[in-house]
Structure 1
Amino acid sequence: MLDNNKLSAGRLAVLYQLPESWANVRSVWEAARAEQLDVVVIMLPFIHRDYQWQREVAEAHLKSMDVDYVAWDEFDLEAAKLDAVLYTSPYDETRPEAYRFANLRQHVRHTSYVPYALDVGDGDLNYFYQYAQPVITGSSAVFVRSENVRALFAKYCPSGCAHVHITGHPRMDSLTDLEDFEVDPALTVAIGQRTPVLWNAHFSFDGDYWSTFDQLARAIFDAFLVRPHLALIFRPHPLLWKKLINLNIFDQAGVANLKDELRARGIIIDDRADHRHAFAASSAMISDASSFLLEYLVTRKPVLYLCNPHGLGLNDEGKAVVEHYRTARDGADIGAFLDQIGAADGPLAAGRQAAIEHFFHGFDGQAGQRVLNVLKGLMA
């Protein structure tokens, strides 16, 4: 028997490329499934010189979450009669030809986009990447986390901001009840009785220079070595390991040896697809300029921003959020931060709490539902 609800709502496709990016649309997919809408997840490869995409890893991740999916090379776009598609990355070059914006839009009534990153970076080139890609300028709808982000689209997107909806970011839905999140027992065992600190290192130490990995990694590793009561959870950007190989800093065996050496020093390398384990388990975070600078704010825990003096720096949103954090430029700053973990954080802690609504519209776990409501309106 045909499902009239599915027929009336239209057919929605969600594009999946990276396990780490599934969080951006998880709650949209869950809301669609809860309403028994016709939603299909299409698994695509992620084509990038600094990332080694593995089909079996992507498939295993989707299966582990009981997500029904179809692979791009087994899906007939022309016959699918899609009413809407939801992109999670703006970069056409990372997708197979048929799924690049100009081609895919020929087979779908409406295109939409959830930003893959909570953007904090400055620089004209970065603004071009974040606000002027075809997926962004040509989509029927773009879904953003706040009024301030919509204003950035008004300033930098060639299409303006009429198509930009302030729904809150679906990625944040799963962080509204982080205190109840069940941390992987293996991570808990690895931490033991130590106080865990998350370190988020960017990969861009050869171009935009948001990363401080090449400048401060040794200082960070050494700082934890002399503070055995602390546990370092090292969760680098997914592109960092391959970047080290491409720059001839290490070969494949060298990266493996580096990981072994770090583990031998008691460092926890977190390669889980779901970042909530590290967020929930950690007591504080050290971070380069990245999405985590914004996202970790909702944990209300202390953050140390690693400033690269040679880099493009932070945009206005990034500058605003780091007002609630401490900043480091060298090993002494890092050591001072680590020695203060567990002490009262006073005005900074109060500021983080008060800033959540400013950075995240409707931080209530319902952003995915609001996105879906817009999509249903488009497909009607």
Structure 2
Amino acid sequence: MWKTDLLYQAMENHPAYCPSILVVPRCNADDIEANTKRTELHFLTKGYRVRMVMTGKDSHTDDELLDDDIIFFTHPHNDSLERFSIAHLRNKLTCYVPYFEMLDVNYSIHFNGPTENLVWKFFQINELHKHIAEEHAYNRGRNIDVVGYPATEALYSDQSYDNPWKRPELKKIIFAPHHSISNSSFLSNSTFIENADYLRELAIRYSGRVNFAFKPHPLLKDKLYRHPDWGVKKTDEYWAFWSSKPNLQLEEGEYVGLFRESDAMIHDCTSFITEYLYTGKPALYLNPSIRDRLNDYGKLGYDAIPKVKEPTDIDRFIRSIMNGDSVTHNAGLQDKLRPALSPTTHIMQILNKTFVGTRG
């Protein structure tokens, strides 16, 4: 959910700002304390300025944000301690960058939560999203500035990233399943239950030619734990499989380097429909029946990539990547998606105009 890495770095390099990361507990996580500490370690490893809050602290005596001037929310939901919600930060200048690309038509969830309506600046991806807010949001999108998407900027920027692939000499394919199994969400597009065994079979079949990365949605494992046909043991065994061979790797963290250095993706994750297009690499979508639930921006990406109609389509796609005869199905589209001015630069200009008196 951390989508503003380049923005943090831009602030760090500007004399008017002193950015820091406040890691707050995600109270609906399986292991709250361990999850919080892992998040802290992630940012410490980057060399960032980090503060951390644990759930045992007294909410009446702690005021971690007292001296901060601008607050960026990393996601809009009230999943942490109440004092970190928008309701308790109304006296601050608050901003929100979406943690995923909003491709579906469930506008009440994406545009009408307290955070989306009450933040000072809601930095949106494109004019289409602004028009949706003008029509559907309680505040009619008055707090929206269209800047592009900072999360995808890293996928095409000149900045270098570590190559996380175990076997970079092989073709590198990502398998990214969504969490929405068994109609567990509005946009239940996950095909994991139907395709899990076949994808494992293909990973074994092409072990000498393809480096596969399993990149599950963070919520998928917990839902499988509670699924009557899976449960904890079967789920843990499946996760372990993706680290069991030299050509397999389990990826549950940051994915910019993974995407940039990959050759292709196989997935049914909604936000990746357009997000992966920024790389210009070929993708295969596992669900052929969700188009009617997408907004115009979602349909733009959905129509640009092939869909699976039968399981053997997955095999054919993998072989096309191995043989080098798979063309980028979204040729030219990634250029249309990339804004002329980088999202980070655009956001910094807005902040500088407000706080520094310049757009430089």
After superposition, the C-alpha distances for 1:323-353 in whole angstroms (9 at most, x for unaligned) are 221111331221221222244445x54xx34
Q: Equivalent residue for 1:293?
A: 273
Match of 2:181 among 205, 221, 227: 205
The answer to which of 127-136 and 148-157 deviates more is 148-157
Checking the alignment, whether the CA contact within 8 Å between 2:268 and 2:286 is kept in structure 1 is yes
- Equivalent residue in structure 2 for 1:181, among 158, 161, 171: 161
Aligned equivalent of 1:7: none
Which of 53, 62, 76 aligns to 1:72? It is 53
- Give the residue type in structure 2 aligned to 1:144: Q
Q: CA deviation at 1:163?
A: 1.6
Letter in 2 for 1:115: P
Counterpart-to-counterpart distance in 2, 1:191 and 1:329: 30
Is this contact kept in 2: 1:86–1:111, CA < 8 A? yes
Over residues 229-266 of structure 1, what are the superposed CA-to-partner deviations in whole Å (9 max), with x where a residue is unaligned? Answer: 22221111111112211335545454332223343355
1:109-128 deviations in whole A, cap 9, x for unaligned? x2211001012234xxx322
TM-score (norm 2): 0.85
Which residue does the alignment assign to 1:17? Answer: none
Q: What number of residue pairs does the alignment pair up?
A: 344
- For the Cα contact (< 8 Å) 1:83–1:379, is it kept in 2? no
Answering whether residue 9 of structure 2 is matched by residue 30 of structure 1, we say: yes
For residue 359 of structure 1, the aligned residue among 315, 334, 337 is 337
Percent identical among aligned pairs is 20
Q: Is the 8 A contact 1:50 1:239 kept in 2?
A: no
Distance in structure 1 (CA, Å) of the matches to 2:237 and 2:65: 48
Aligned-partner Cα distance in 2 for 1:157–1:89: 17
Aligned to 2:141: 161
Asked if structure 2 preserves the Cα contact closer than 8 Å seen for 1:205 and 1:211, the reply is yes
Shift of residue 169, structure 1, vs aligned partner: 1.5
Distance verdict in 2 for CA 1:256–1:84, change over 3 Å: same
Cα distance in 2 for partners of 1:324, 1:371 equals 29
Q: Does 1:85 align with 2:71?
A: yes
Q: Structure 1 counterpart of 2:84, which letter? A: Y
Tell me the C-alpha RMSD between the 2 structures: 2.7
1:47 positional shift: 2.5
CA distance in 1, matches of 2:196, 2:65: 51
Structure-2 change in CA distance of 1:354 and 1:311 (3 Å): closer
Q: 2:103 aligns with which of 102, 114, 120?
A: 120
Provide the residue aligned with 1:328 in structure 2. 308
Query: Is residue 143 of structure 1 aligned with residue 110 of structure 2?
Result: no
Q: Is the 8 A contact 2:72 2:94 kept in 1?
A: yes
8 Å CA contact 1:84, 1:375 repeated in 2: no
| AA in 1 matched with 2:94 | T
8 A Cα contact 2:122 2:143, kept in partner: yes
Question: Any idea what SS the aligned residue of 1:257 has?
Answer: helix
Q: Is the 8 A contact 2:152 2:275 kept in 1?
A: yes
Q: Distance in 1 between matches of 2:151 and 2:70?
A: 20
Shift of 1:79: 7.2
Give the secondary structure class of the aligned counterpart of 1:143: strand
CA contact (8 A) 2:181 2:191 kept: yes
Residue of structure 2 in register with 1:371 after alignment: 347
